[in-house]
Amino acid sequence: MSRRFDAGYYISEGFHSIFTHGFMSFAAVCMIVACLVIMGSFTLLAVNLDNMLGDLENENEMVVYIDDSLTEEQARALQPVLAKIPNVSQLSFVTAQRAMEEFKAKRENNALLADLPDETLRDRYHVHVVDIERMAETKAALEQVEGVGVGNVRAAIEIADGFVLVRNIATGVAMVLVGMLLIISLFIIANTIKLATFYRREEIAIMKMCGATDGFIEWPFVVEGMLLGLTGALIAFFVQWGLYQAVAKFAIQGNGISLVTILSYQSMASTILAVFCGVGAFIGVGGSLFAIRKFLQV
Amino acid sequence: MIRLIDVYKEYDNGTKALKGVNIRIDDGEFVFLVGPSGSGKSTVIKLITAEIAPTEGRVMVNGFNLTNISPRQVPKMRRTLGVIFQNFRLIEKKTVYENLSFAMRAIGASNRELRRRIPYVLQLVGLDQKGDRYPGQLSGGEQQRVAIARALVNNPSMIIADEPTGNLDPQRSLEIMMLLERINELGTTVLVVTHEKNLVNRFTKRVVAIENGRIISDETGGYYNVEKI
């Protein structure tokens, strides 16, 4: 007799089993949804904070003043030295003359400044950094370069530090909660499948006696676990969407100083869906395999 | 072919179920394994179906050495056997046809193979008109016929019947035994475990008697000897 992979049979048995013990299936899906939404919420918070930090990093710059004793050529020659300093992402040289023009341009109506000589200001570099968390360290490194003084750091270091702190807390809490919820979800799925295997223990025993392989017996339960996991993932995706929109709306309304920028859910939707489905399927299949192995010792 | 060579079986709780059992059953034979409760009959069946392993000795079934059989080989060995139980062990929520197709699907049979084989087997056991009935709608004798059909459906070389008439009245028991005899005549080896003396004595077959974990008699064309057991 031919042996073959009967996918239709496995899927139909998996579906059937879900509805046979509907309450446990419902509980399992609810746990997966809870797990994924909590995981997703903290991860999205971390992602948004990361994005805001990125914005801050782009906006933040340090102004590095060049000593008066250096000529413009000597000042320009410092560029490669400054560029080599760790965490420096971008350097732009501004001559004293250009700096004065910009200074005056911002204060057009102030006649008192009109007669200021170009030499009033110094040549300078505008420096952008890679990691805003290391701003102070970078500033200290820049100050070590001969002929250079660093002042007027236009960086909201306190705000950045706040974002970093919240992001790190969110990431930590997310990891702990996700770990706990994953274990709980695996446990619930495993119990759901155990119930299914207990309910079908006679069928399993008959199949084993007829010569069914462990794989043949396992597959419907694996399909059942996967379906429960994917159903939970899909529901979680939409619950997360609603929750995210509500929180985003609230955050934007209370954001008087435009400090908070929120990423749109749609821009991350495909990634979120893929991650949710992956985690859901992992929980479902993992829980099923964990439960079924015990029942195959016939 | 079954061979038990100097087989001992001691369970974890210390019960010594078999104490040096030797049995040889050749292809095409019809054998009764008889003995009182606790004599070791069920242990012999469990050894043959690879549900348990012997503590000592060798067990060979249809070319498979069960003493050191790998888990992957067990399903292959079991496909050479058809097992019938006292309590039928039918799936109540499946029809007669579905009970048989379930057994065939378990070994990966195609729909075509199901359609070809099941009607033939149902006809063989006299249930060709009852494929769409549920077990609960059948008499005890008919349910046991379904169980026999399920054991036969995968075309095994050997049928092992564990107290197949235990839940049946004498007339139905006789019918079931005659059906097993007919299956044997068609070439399938049959091993029937029973303690029903009258039934055994109506058939002139080989009778292996076991008591206290030891074979106490093995007579071809023999009887269930009351004095011995």
ipTM score: 0.83
Q: Which of A183-187, B100-104, B122-126, B181-185 has the lowest mean pLDDT?
A: A183-187
Chain A: which residues have CB within 8 Å of chain B?
1-4, 6, 9, 202-203, 205-214, 216, 298
Q: In what order do the strands lie in the sheet with B2-10?
A: B16-25, B2-10, B56-61, B64-65
CA distances from A203 to A206, B64, B103 (A): 5, 25, 10
Which two three-digit tokens encode residue B42? Answer: 């069920």
Name the amino acid, one letter, at A109: N
Distance, in Å, from the CA atom of A242 to the CA atom of A248, rounded to the nearest integer, reads 10
- Reduced to 3 states (helix: H, G, I; strand: E, B; else coil), residue A80 is helix
Which residues make Cβ contacts (< 8 Å) with residue B169, sequence separation at least 6?
Answer: B140
What residues of B are in contact with residue A215 (Cβ under 8 Å)?
Answer: none
Check if the beta carbon of residue B36 is closer than 8 Å to that of residue B195.
Answer: yes
pTM attached to this predicted model: 0.66
Task: Please answer yes or no on whether B109 and A1 come within 8 Å at the CB atom.
Answer: yes
In this prediction, residue B211 carries a pLDDT of: 92
What residues of A are in contact with residue B160 (Cβ under 8 Å)?
Answer: none
- Answer with the residue of higher pLDDT: A294 or B195: B195
Check if the beta carbon of residue B192 is closer than 8 Å to that of residue B44.
Answer: no
Q: Which of A73-87, B42-56, B150-164 has the lowest mean pLDDT?
A: A73-87
Half-sphere exposure of B121 (CA within 13 A, CB side): 26
Q: B68-74 long-range CB contacts below 8 Å, 24 or more apart?
A: B71/A214, B72/A213, B74/B50
Check if the beta carbon of residue B123 is closer than 8 Å to that of residue B185.
Answer: no
Q: What percent of chain A has pLDDT over 70?
A: 85
In this prediction, residue A112 carries a pLDDT of: 67
In this prediction, residue A3 carries a pLDDT of: 52
- Reduced to 3 states (helix: H, G, I; strand: E, B; else coil), residue B204 is coil
